[in-house]
Structure 1
């Protein structure tokens, strides 16, 4: 199997740039052997490697990543460790599915928290909760429905109107929101870097070592630019890049997202904003709205716009175009802060499946996969990776039954039909939510 496309973002990841130090790892050189090979050092791959190493301390685990760990796709997201599904539904089957995802998400949060605490990972871990917001009256019904769903699930929440939102967020841009108190906010580059740096001793990490070719027919073999590795078993955690591999049968595709991080607010700018606590905000329509954060060090994050990215490449021109969009949006939200400079703008990749279900489990003898995060990647993929390790080792965990009920990603059409379908869907959602920006 040849890897047809490798990720490339011609920009600087702001989360990594504002941390004084991020771990560096050597590239793979020469011939290496291992019991387990993990390709992809994101949340799923690292969770899988950690759990395998814990349960099999005498077996050797090797993790490969195509770029620097603190600059990969997992390090470029918005830093929300989500504890609840974004949508629930109202039928009995939808509520059952929401309960399943809630258990899985909260399992991921729990084990991430244990790892962060046990290893004292400095990732700005903060339990700030999350605001799920709408701008126009068009989405009042969806806000009300989400509140009712959370009540049915027995989850703590608050319905907030514009006046209270203005006080908490420092802007009157948002009309209504549902606030849930247990979402965690982090610096994702610091978190993924810390997770890699604190793996057990029987795990070796190689960065800047993309797998160019993978063979699963005669044992496990992978070739990188400067080396090769043979192993007994393989775990694939390459998300959007997996579409070109025959084992995935075209079930996953990638989209690029765009984010901007501001400079820290000066004391005078903070006085104009008001005395507000750090917060995170998700839009009622994730494809068409803007995700925002106000961080503990008094920066704003703006993440807005998604593009279909079949070749996993985003150039500097495209990023620059969306950086200007972010600046214009921020000026509308915070006219009192037009003198606040933007510091970094970057892109990142997320993996999507047609029906929202993952590609999880055994793909072939001795080959395992956790791909297709569909958002909520930090907590969800951490849970999926850990549980996949237990599945691969035949361990008993009641949540493995939940993984069987979330379903399996279904078939996607080939290009160019896929391109037309994805682009049409995005255009339709942007039109439907045009008043949210």
Structure 2
């Protein structure tokens, strides 16, 4: 089987650009064999490889990454480790579903935090919580007020903030109300991914810069890379949306692109004009029209805005230039006291979604398991998906596997071009009907 589309690093990731240079692990340079292959060194692959090493200490695990760890989608997100579902329902079944998700997400956060502390991973890991914010009275009524009722039903702590109090927290009067929840972790996602990749167990070998160009699934698994082949009897697929290229989950995944910009560091004078001392992160009540933002501990402001359909999983230079101009305009609207602050880095990340929000998790063949399709919550969903795929593959009893399976399976999508027309029409409808949250 020939692999026709490979990940491509355009060297624009701002999170890694502000870090010290890292020496990647060697690429595959000869034919090699192992007991296990894990494909993809994002959150799912890193967690799966680490758990396999724990479950099978006498077996050899090979982790294959097409590019550099930290430069893929895992290192390009907004750096939120989210512990709560974005949308909570009011029925008993929906509340139980929320409890299952929280168990999974908090297991993942604890796993990551233990690794960060054990290995001294410098990734700005802080349990700062997050603000779920509304711009308009309609957003407050339609989303924040029901959210508060469900948090009460879940017995989850929160703080309602609005008006001048919210302005003091965020340094902007653009937002009218917010619900603050304390369980979210903020970090530099590229630094976290790098750190996890550089501190793998001894029986895990990571090969970077080793794109798989062809695959054979007979008598085990054999992947061909530019430098040689890798063969193993068992595989955990953690290549997210690229798993389609290997024949898995056909017509199940939507590929979207999200754009982000990171400002230069604020000067002392600008920090004083801004007037906010503590780092924060916020998510919008509507992901299509709203903006995800952060103020980092090193005094930068992140904007993530712009979600669009991207079936080819590629973004042009011209599109990124247009995004940078748009993000600067949005920044100026929200922070008029900082007119000289430019967007130092602008980049894009490919997001893999399913129609029904379900992951691509479980056993695909007698010797193949998967942990893909994180539905835009990659830090936690990728991590717990990878851990549980490894437990399932090795027969380790873990009651959380049932929680994971309860999330369902990705639904079948229409054929293209009907899919393309439908998705683009839905996006336009979402933007129009939620324009009050822009």
Q: Which residue of 1 aligns with 2:303?
A: 302
SS at match of 1:111: helix
Distance 2:2 2:87 in 1: 37
Q: Is the 8 A contact 1:241 1:254 kept in 2?
A: no
Q: Which residue of 2 aligns with 1:126?
A: 126
Structure 1 residues 157-306: aligned runs within 5 Å:
157-306=158-307
Distance 1:261 1:227 in 2: 38
Distance 2:376 2:252 in 1: 16
Q: Which residue of 2 aligns with 1:5?
A: 5
Q: Which residue of 2 aligns with 1:63?
A: 63
Structure 1 residues 34-45: aligned runs within 5 Å:
34-45=34-45
Distance 1:9 1:404 in 2: 33
SS at match of 2:70: helix
Distance 2:100 2:415 in 1: 31
Distance 1:378 1:122 in 2: 16
Distance 1:231 1:272 in 2: 58
Q: Is the 8 A contact 1:23 1:197 kept in 2?
A: no
Q: Which residue of 2 aligns with 1:109?
A: 109
Q: Is the 8 A contact 1:34 1:231 kept in 2?
A: yes
Q: Which residue of 2 aligns with 1:311?
A: 312
1:116 CA displacement:
0.7
Distance 1:247 1:299 in 2: 40
Residues 23 and 182 of structure 1: CA distance in aligned 2, closer, same or farther (over 3 Å): farther
Residues 193 and 51 of structure 1: CA distance in aligned 2, closer, same or farther (over 3 Å): same
Deviates more, 1:348-357 or 1:85-94: 85-94
1:311 CA displacement:
1.6
Moved >3 Å (runs of 4+): none
SS at match of 1:47: helix
Q: Which residue of 2 aligns with 1:392?
A: 393
Unaligned runs of 5+ residues in structure 2 are none
- Structure 2 length as normaliser, TM-score? 0.97
Q: Which residue of 1 aligns with 2:138?
A: 138
Q: Is the 8 A contact 2:170 2:276 kept in 1?
A: no
Distance 2:23 2:368 in 1: 29
Q: Which residue of 2 aligns with 1:364?
A: 365
Q: Is the 8 A contact 1:255 1:349 kept in 2?
A: yes
Distance 2:384 2:294 in 1: 24
Q: Is the 8 A contact 1:9 1:348 kept in 2?
A: no
SS at match of 2:90: coil
1:84 CA displacement:
0.8
Distance 1:255 1:11 in 2: 19
Distance 1:34 1:287 in 2: 44
Distance 1:47 1:292 in 2: 27
Q: Deviations over 1:207-239 (max 9, x none)?
A: 111111222133101111221111010111111
1:244 CA displacement:
3.8
1:57 CA displacement:
1.2
Q: Is the 8 A contact 2:81 2:380 kept in 1?
A: yes
Distance 1:173 1:320 in 2: 25
1:82 CA displacement:
0.6
Distance 2:409 2:20 in 1: 41
Q: Which residue of 1 aligns with 2:74?
A: 74
Structure 1 residues 85-96: aligned runs within 5 Å:
85-96=85-96
Distance 1:134 1:267 in 2: 30
Q: Which residue of 2 aligns with 1:33?
A: 33
Q: Is the 8 A contact 2:239 2:372 kept in 1?
A: yes
Q: Deviations over 1:180-223 (max 9, x none)?
A: 01111000000000001110011111111111122213310111
Count of aligned pairs between the two proteins? 437
Deviates more, 1:293-302 or 1:10-19: 10-19
Distance 1:287 1:222 in 2: 38
SS at match of 2:431: helix
Q: Which residue of 1 aligns with 2:334?
A: 333
Distance 1:3 1:419 in 2: 23
1:9 CA displacement:
4.8
Distance 1:241 1:310 in 2: 11
SS at match of 2:121: coil
1:11 CA displacement:
4.6
SS at match of 1:71: coil
Deviates more, 1:163-172 or 1:213-222: 213-222
Q: Is the 8 A contact 2:9 2:67 kept in 1?
A: no
- Structure 1 length as normaliser, TM-score? 0.98
